[in-house]
Amino acid sequence: MIDYIRDGAEIYRQSFATIRAESDLSRLPADLSQVAVRMVHACGMVDLVADIAWSPNVVADARAALRAGAPILCDAAMVASGVTRRRLPADNPVVCTLSDPRVPGLAAELGTTRSAAALELWRDQLDGAVVAIGNAPTALFRLLEMVAEGAGRPAAVLGIPVGFIGAAESKQALADNDLGLEYLVVRGRRGGSAITAAAINAIASEEE
Amino acid sequence: MIDYIRDGAEIYRQSFATIRAESDLSRLPADLSQVAVRMVHACGMVDLVADIAWSPNVVADARAALRAGAPILCDAAMVASGVTRRRLPADNPVVCTLSDPRVPGLAAELGTTRSAAALELWRDQLDGAVVAIGNAPTALFRLLEMVAEGAGRPAAVLGIPVGFIGAAESKQALADNDLGLEYLVVRGRRGGSAITAAAINAIASEEE
B41 annotated active-site: yes
Residue range A76-86: mean pLDDT, rounded: 98
Query: Among residues of chain A, what percentage have pLDDT more than 70?
Result: 100
Strand pairing category for B156-159 and B183-186: parallel
Residue range B28-43: mean pLDDT, rounded: 98
Q: Report the distance separating Cα B123 and Cα A14, nearest Å.
A: 30
Q: Report the distance separating Cα A157 and Cα A91, nearest Å.
A: 19
C-alpha dihedral (A10, A16, A18, A23), degrees to nearest 10: 180
pLDDT of A1 > 90? The answer is no
Nearest-CB residue to B82 (from A45, A78, A191): A78
* Beta-carbon separation of A162 and B44 below 8 A: yes
**Cβ-based contacts under 8 A for chains A and B:** 140
* Beta-carbon separation of A113 and B11 below 8 A: yes
pLDDT of A175 > 80? The answer is yes
pLDDT of A77 > 90? The answer is yes
Where are the strands (E) in chain A, listed by range? 52-54, 72-74, 94-96, 130-133, 156-159, 183-186
Q: What is the mean pLDDT of chain A?
A: 97
ipTM of the complex in this document: 0.97
Chain B's closest residue to A6, CA to CA, is B112
pLDDT of B1 > 80? The answer is no
Q: B172-200 pLDDT, tens per residue? A: 999 999 999 999 999 999 999 999 999 99
pLDDT band at A186 (very low <50, low <70, confident <90, very high): very high
DSSP category for residue B177: -
pLDDT of residue A207: 87
- In a 13 Å sphere around the CA of B74, the CA atoms on its Cβ side amount to 25
pLDDT band at A38 (very low <50, low <70, confident <90, very high): very high
Residue range A158-179: mean pLDDT, rounded: 98
* Beta-carbon separation of B162 and A188 below 8 A: no
